[in-house]
């Protein structure tokens, strides 16, 4: 049996953040959740994963309790190093044969790499620990793997404790280990904090193993999966890798992405075949895009579903909305939460919708606010129409029937209902319900003063 310990109690000082490092997000998900996925995949059950947290009441613990309630936590208290952190989890080792230790700030590690590491430990009875290493171009900040002349790993030296010679070594410790549980248990109390950081280093267990005539196994993994996040730059590097991967996956699945390097896709986004993403499109959260849909330049979509063959023109912002097949949106439209556009709806430029249900074939093409409203099939909403849904105290609903024509620059003062087939004259302020097929007209009758324009010009001494 294997117990997986996930270290998440560090301060993450180098992030310079109020937020705990492991709760920083890469491609829309906290680092901790990514590492936890790996831990769960290795352990096979949540019961065998222990996350080391800084305290009972901190943000990391709160996040775990709400997002992963079945995972065990062990409280470290003030962070005094990775060795001290593993010590905090020792109570959960039980009689496990192997203890895998992962760092929550290494988000790209795969479960497959760890299982090969566990195999490497098991392959040699004398091995007390197996360490996953990587060769990287820039090893700065990582612990370096020190090998003897025969190539055996003899210790790991932290950057801050290293000599200039050691700093040249490009093989680094990924912070991923498989330990013989019995040996680890015996070694943890022997760790000291005699080093430049005054911390209990887990890596010192390696030297203890050699002293006990046991062996240290190493396995070299690939360099990108080793990426540890200690700074905002590291976070950006991880983000870039994840986004590139996602864009490649989407293209392989049949999406056209015109300038992949400019597009931002969360991993949780689904793109159907033959969708087209123009440059600088951002798709976030649980967004789903149907087959044949085109999303115009600079558009941001979050937690929304777009149907098939939808056209989203450039620079729209769409959040928690549903857009039906063949609908046309934008440019410059804003669809807010609770917007539900049926098949073939047109929502044009500078239109804002919120909690708005627009039935099949509705058109609202220009400069309009539609909030807390339901609009029946084929109704046409003219330019500049506003549902006045807020009276300063509460929100009210506007219900518009089918085949209605709402003339330009009308205000619909909610609560109000407009019957099927009604026509609202341009510039009308609707304050009362309009019956089916009625014509509503509420504006000052127009006066024309003969020659009034000419007289006015004369008064201003302006030629025509
Ligand atoms: C550690 C390793 C280093 C390795 C690197 C890989 C040690 C001494 N060093 O360095 O060899 O190359 O990871 O990324 O182990 N943590 C706790 N409690 C603590 C301190 C840390 O839970 O008291 C957690 C952190 O939240 C983090 C992980 O342990 O998830 C690693 O800690 P960090 O401070 O980032 O260590 P590094 O300096 O990166
Ligand atoms: Mg680190």
pLDDT of residue 46: 82
What is the rounded CA–CA span in Å between residue 75 and residue 259?
A: 46
What is the rounded CA–CA span in Å between residue 464 and residue 451?
A: 13
Nearest ligand to the CA of 22 is 1
| Average pLDDT value for residue range 136-148 | 96
Question: 225 CB less than 6 Å from ligand 1?
Answer: no
Beta pairing, strands 29-30 & 317-319: unpaired
Nearest ligand to the CA of 102 is 1
Does residue 12 have a cis bond before it (omega within 30 degrees)?
Answer: no
Question: 139 CB less than 6 Å from ligand 1?
Answer: no
Q: Does residue 28 carry a pLDDT above 90?
A: no
Task: Tell me the pLDDT tens digit for each residue of 322-348.
Answer: 999 999 999 999 999 999 999 999 999
What is the rounded CA–CA span in Å between residue 416 and residue 428?
A: 13
Measured in Å, residue 226 CA sits from the centre of ligand 2 at 10
| Average pLDDT value for residue range 108-118 | 96
Task: Tell me the pLDDT tens digit for each residue of 167-205.
Answer: 999 999 999 999 999 999 999 999 999 999 999 999 999
| Average pLDDT value for residue range 399-409 | 98
Question: 234 CB less than 6 Å from ligand 1?
Answer: no
pLDDT of residue 241: 94
pTM of the model: 0.87
DSSP state of 146: E
Task: Please give the distance of CA 130 from its chain centroid, rounded to a whole number.
Answer: 33
Residue 361 pLDDT class (50, 70, 90 cuts): very high
Residue nearest to atom 34 of ligand 1 (CA): 10
In terms of phi and psi (left: phi > 0; alpha: psi -120 to 50; beta: otherwise), the region of 114 is: alpha
Question: 142 CB less than 6 Å from ligand 1?
Answer: yes
- Taking CA 234 as the corner, what is the angle to CA 225 and CA 37, rounded to the nearest 5 degrees? 45
| Average pLDDT value for residue range 8-34 | 94
Task: Please give the distance of CA 82 from its chain centroid, rounded to a whole number.
Answer: 28
Question: 326 CB less than 6 Å from ligand 1?
Answer: no
What is the rounded CA–CA span in Å between residue 428 and residue 432?
A: 11
Which of 14, 102, 103, 138 to probe ligand 1 with, by most ligand atoms within 8 A of CB? Answer: 103
Task: Tell me the pLDDT tens digit for each residue of 264-286.
Answer: 999 899 999 999 999 999 999 99
Mean pLDDT rounded to a whole number for the chain: 96
Strand positions, DSSP E, 286-362:
288-289, 294-295, 300-302, 305-306, 311-312, 317-319, 321-323, 328-329, 334-335, 339-341, 346-358
Task: Tell me the pLDDT tens digit for each residue of 65-107.
Answer: 999 999 999 999 999 999 999 999 999 999 999 999 999 999 9
Measured in Å, residue 79 CA sits from the centre of ligand 1 at 10
Question: 52 CB less than 6 Å from ligand 1?
Answer: yes
Q: Does residue 424 carry a pLDDT above 90?
A: yes
Question: 86 CB less than 6 Å from ligand 1?
Answer: no
What is the rounded CA–CA span in Å between residue 307 and residue 326?
A: 7
pLDDT of residue 212: 97
Atom of ligand 1 nearest to the CA of 174: 6
Measured in Å, residue 193 CA sits from the centre of ligand 1 at 14
Nearest ligand to the CA of 8 is 1
Which of 226, 228, 233 to probe ligand 1 with, by most ligand atoms within 8 A of CB? Answer: 228
- DSSP characters for 117-143? HHHHHHH-TTEEEEEEEEE-S--TTSP
Measured in Å, residue 390 CA sits from the centre of ligand 2 at 50
Residue pair 36/6 in contact (Cβ under 8 Å)? The answer is yes
Collapse the DSSP code of 179 into the 3-class scheme (helix H, G, I; strand E, B; otherwise coil) and give the result.
strand
Sequence-ordered list of residues with C-beta below 8 angstroms from that of 346, at least 6 positions apart, any chain = 327, 328, 329, 362, 363, 364, 365
Question: 10 CB less than 6 Å from ligand 1?
Answer: yes
What is the rounded CA–CA span in Å between residue 428 and residue 148?
A: 88
Measured in Å, residue 84 CA sits from the centre of ligand 1 at 11
Q: Compute how many other C-beta atoms are within 10 angstroms of the C-beta atom of residue 449.
A: 8
pLDDT of residue 11: 87
Residue 390 pLDDT class (50, 70, 90 cuts): very high
Measured in Å, residue 126 CA sits from the centre of ligand 2 at 29
H-type alpha helices, 69-178: 82-89, 111-123
Residue 44 pLDDT class (50, 70, 90 cuts): confident
Atom of ligand 1 nearest to the CA of 20: 26
pLDDT of residue 154: 95
Q: Does residue 53 carry a pLDDT above 90?
A: yes
Question: 227 CB less than 6 Å from ligand 1?
Answer: no
Q: Give catalytic residues, as residue numbers.
A: 366
Tokens of 38: 């790996």
pLDDT of residue 45: 84
pLDDT of residue 107: 96
Rounded to a whole number of angstroms, the CA Rg of the chain reads: 32
Q: Compute how many other C-beta atoms are within 10 angstroms of the C-beta atom of residue 192.
A: 10
Which of 175, 188, 208 to probe ligand 1 with, by most ligand atoms within 8 A of CB? Answer: 175
Question: 206 CB less than 6 Å from ligand 1?
Answer: no
């Amino acid at each position: 049996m294997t117990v997986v310990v996930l270290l998440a109690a560090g301060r993450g000082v180098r992030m310079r953040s109020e937020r705990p490092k492991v709760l920083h997000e890469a491609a829309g998900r906290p680092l901790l959740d990514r590492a936890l996925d790996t831990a769960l995949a290795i352990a096979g059950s949540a019961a065998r994963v222990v996350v080391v947290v800084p305290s009972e009441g901190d943000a990391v613990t709160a996040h775990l309790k709400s997002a992963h309630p079945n995972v065990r936590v062990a409280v470290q208290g003030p962070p005094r190093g990775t060795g001290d952190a593993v010590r905090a989890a020792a109570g959960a080792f039980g009689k496990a044969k192997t203890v895998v230790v992962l760092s929550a700030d290494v988000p790209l590690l795969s479960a497959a790499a760890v299982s090969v590491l566990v195999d490497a430990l098991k392959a040699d009875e004398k091995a007390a620990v197996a360490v996953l290493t990587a060769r990287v171009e820039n090893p700065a900040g990582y612990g370096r793997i020190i090998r003897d002349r025969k190539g055996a790993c003899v210790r790991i030296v932290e950057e801050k404790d290293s000599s200039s010679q050691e700093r040249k070594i490009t093989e680094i410790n990924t912070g991923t280990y498989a330990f013989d549980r019995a040996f680890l248990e015996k070694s943890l109390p022997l760790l000291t904090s005699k080093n430049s950081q005054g911390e209990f280093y887990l890596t010192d267990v390696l030297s203890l193993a050699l002293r006990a005539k046991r062996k240290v196994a190493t396995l070299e993994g690939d360099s990108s999966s080793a990426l540890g996040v200690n700074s905002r730059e590291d976070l950006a590097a991880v983000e870039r890798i994840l986004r590139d991967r996602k864009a490649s996956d989407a293209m392989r699945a049949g999406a056209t992405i015109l300038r992949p390097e400019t597009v931002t896709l969360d991993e949780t986004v689904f793109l159907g075949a033959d969708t087209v993403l123009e440059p600088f499109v951002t798709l976030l959260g649980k967004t789903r895009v149907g087959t044949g849909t085109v999303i115009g330049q600079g558009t941001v979509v979050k937690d929304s579903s777009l149907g098939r063959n939808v056209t989203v023109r450039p620079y729209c912002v769409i959040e928690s909305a549903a857009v039906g097949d063949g609908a046309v949106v934008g440019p410059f439209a804003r669809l807010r939460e609770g917007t539900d556009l049926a098949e073939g709806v047109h929502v044009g430029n500078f239109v804002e919708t919120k909690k708005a249900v627009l039935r099949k074939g509705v058109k609202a093409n220009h400069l309009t606010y539609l909030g807390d409203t339901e609009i029946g099939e084929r109704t046409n909403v003219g330019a500049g129409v506003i549902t006045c849904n807020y009276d300063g105290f509460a929100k009210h609903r506007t219900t518009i029937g089918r085949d209605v024509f709402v003339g330009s620059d009308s205000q619909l003062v909610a609560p109000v209902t407009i019957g099927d087939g009604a026509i609202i004259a341009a510039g009308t302020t609707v304050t009362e319900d309009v019956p089916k097929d009625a014509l509503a007209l509420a504006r000052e009758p127009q006066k024309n003063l003969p020659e009034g324009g000419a007289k006015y010009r004369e008064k201003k001494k302006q030629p025509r």
